[in-house]
Amino acid sequence: MMMDWLAALLLTISSTGASAENGRAQLDAFAEGLETLSGRFEQVTVDAGGSVTEESSGELYFSRPDHFRWNYDEPFPQEIVADGEQLWHYDESLEQVTVREQPAANESPLLVLMRPELLERFYRVTASDATGFDFVPLDDNAEIERGRLEFQDRQPAVLELIDSFGQTTRLRLFDLDRNPELSADLFQFSVPEGVDLLEGY
């Protein structure tokens, strides 16, 4: 599920060269002392031929070590909530909720941004410059083939992921707020009345 990989500001840094330190240093500096995070995102998916196949936008929220929420506003309202034990996905248009065990941190959206010490376990940096770095997963069975994380003003700004079908997903982050006061209720989910619940998906 590509959404799990958007986790990633997910980049992994098991490289050896001074150039890779630029990207790692910016990521480490951003994550240092980071307990909570909020912001907005715009997500675009482009197929191998360059045609846009999907566009969406919304808000994101995180709390260490493993709680997050994605609220999709456009084009179809959806909520994705990780409460530390389970991952909930509510599709309002389908009137359907799916719930499953919460994936490991390396598979969860942007959790690795808050825990960059995990990055080197799963990825290898292949190139780096002052604005960001390129990376590939160490796992041959990973859903993506390669990616790039770019910074702007020392904050993560754009994450690009390319899968084995040549499809590219670009996630733009903006209005990021470090350590805002977030209610614990943001990371809890209650199934709305009259909505179908599917477990284990």
| Count of domains for the chain | 1
CA gap 132, 101 in Å, rounded: 33
Let me know: does 77 contact 119? Beta carbons within 8 Å: no
Cα 200 to Cα 83, 86, 88, 121, 193, distances in angstroms: 15, 10, 10, 27, 20
Higher-confidence residue: 41 or 8? 41
Please report the pLDDT score of residue 100 as a whole number: 93
Reported as a single tens digit per residue, the pLDDT across 145-188 is 888 888 888 889 998 889 889 999 999 999 999 999 999 999 99
Reported as a single tens digit per residue, the pLDDT across 46-76 is 999 999 999 999 999 999 888 999 999 988 8
Please report the pLDDT score of residue 111 as a whole number: 60
Q: What is the CATH number of the domain that holds 6?
A: 2.50.20.10
CA gap 169, 184 in Å, rounded: 30
Q: 17 lies in which domain range?
A: 2-199
Please report the pLDDT score of residue 20 as a whole number: 39
Q: How does the average pLDDT of the chain come out, rounded? A: 82
